[in-house]
Amino acid sequence: MISLEVNNLTKVYPDGTKALDNVSFKVNPGEGVVLLGHNGSGKSTLFRCITSFEKPTSGNIVIDETDITTLSKSKLRPIRKKVGMVFQHFNLINNLSVFQNVLFGALGHTKTSFHTFAPFASEELRMKAMDCLDRVGLSHFAKRRADQLSGGQQQRVAIARMLMQDPEIVLADEPIASLDPKAGREVMDLLWEIVQERGLSVVSILHQMDIAMEYGERIIALKKGNMIIDESVKKLDRAFLDTLYHQEDFTETEGEKAGA
Ligand SMILES: Nc1ncnc2c1ncn2[C@@H]1O[C@H](COP(=O)(O)OP(=O)(O)OP(=O)(O)O)[C@@H](O)[C@H]1O
Ligand SMILES: [Mg+2]
Q: What confidence tens digit (pLDDT) does each residue in 185-238 have?
A: 999 999 999 999 999 999 999 998 899 999 999 999 999 999 999 999 999 988
User: What ligand is nearest to the CA atom of residue 38?
Assistant: 1
- For the whole model, what pTM was predicted? 0.91
Q: Note the pLDDT tens digit of each residue in 136-182.
A: 999 999 999 999 999 999 999 999 999 999 999 999 999 999 999 99
Instruction: Give 57's Cβ-side CA count (13 Å radius).
Output: 16
Pocket lining: 43 vs ligand 1, CB cutoff 6 Å: yes
How far does the centroid of ligand 2 lie from the alpha carbon of residue 245, in Å? 16
pLDDT above 90 covers what percent of the chain?
76
Give the separation between CA 142 and CA 133, rounded to whole angstroms: 8
Q: Note the pLDDT tens digit of each residue in 45-63.
A: 999 999 999 999 999 999 9
Quote the mean pLDDT of the chain: 90
Residue 249 has pLDDT above 60, yes or no: no
Pocket lining: 55 vs ligand 1, CB cutoff 6 Å: no
Strands 32-36 and 17-27: unpaired
Pocket lining: 108 vs ligand 1, CB cutoff 6 Å: no
